[in-house]
Amino acid sequence: MSFQMSEPIIITIDGPAASGKSSVSRLVAKNLDCDWVSTGAFYRGIAYLALKNETDIESEEAIVGLIKSGKWSVSLDFEKTKFLFDGLDVTSEIYGESIGNIASKISSFPEVRKELLACQRDCANGRKFLVAEGRDCGTVVFPNAQSKFYLTANSRNRAARRAQQEGADIEKTLKDQAVRDSQDGGRAVAPMAAPEGAHIIDSSNMGLDDVVQAVLAAVKSDIS
């Protein structure tokens, strides 16, 4: 599937942790032969920096300082959003549950979100097509995206997916997930929510390929 338009075509796929949005968005980007960005990688990457630098995660000013440090960058393709620290690829180290909890914490800071927003939006520059995945891509980062999606699944189903991926205990994962859902949905700035006009897909009882095909069909309809 390919499209030719003068303006960048942006597809956003949002949803809670372990709703399948990362796997789905990667495959959608691959099918559309375009780049993919996980906006959550920005927060996870900064959380990783905070942990490595023993930065006070309760200090908004200190976290903003990390963002402005110039010690990090991201690189995109359809398979991953690479996070680089001092030129080294540390992507594989930013996806643990502990990093996710810190990321959820620092994402509640208004100035942190403000500083990273411009970086996230820059990902569309120079691209004809971009798939963006996260928790506020369709509501805040790319509110004018041509095609928006919100993926969800029941809590235990999501916890089982994450526990299987990380080899973790499902009950602990369920508890950690509840904390993150509460933080992400309850923050004062850009809370996680289904974007207006988004296609809402409950993937609890759907296979990965079924979700991908549903998204691709909706994209084709949205931008044709």
Tell me how far apart the 2 most distant CA atoms of the chain are, in Å.
Answer: 49
Q: In this structure, are strands 129-134 and 88-89 parallel, antiparallel, or unpaired?
A: unpaired
A 10 A CB-CB count for 31 gives: 16
Residue 46 lies in a domain: yes
CATH value at residue 99 = 3.40.50.300
Residue 3 lies in a domain: no
Residue 4 lies in a domain: no
Which residues have CB under 8 Å from 92's CB, separation 6+?
none
Residue 69 lies in a domain: yes
Residue 39 lies in a domain: yes
Residue 68 lies in a domain: yes
Place of tokens 């680089």: 84
Residue 219 lies in a domain: no
Residue 30 lies in a domain: yes
**pLDDT, position 188:** 61
CB 37 within 8 A of CB 132: yes
Residue-level pLDDT, tens digit, the chain, 224 residues: 444 445 789 999 998 877 889 899 999 999 999 999 999 999 999 999 999 999 999 999 999 999 999 999 999 977 889 999 999 999 999 988 789 889 989 998 999 999 999 999 999 999 999 999 998 999 999 999 999 999 987 777 776 777 677 777 778 777 776 777 776 666 666 666 789 999 999 888 888 999 999 999 999 999 88
Distance separating alpha carbons of residues 205 and 210, to the nearest angstrom = 10
Count up the domains in the chain and report the number: 1
Phi, psi angle pair for 176, to nearest 5°: -60, -40
**pLDDT, position 100:** 86
Distance separating alpha carbons of residues 48 and 94, to the nearest angstrom = 6
103: containing domain: 9-214
**pLDDT, position 192:** 66
pTM of the predicted model, to two decimals? 0.82
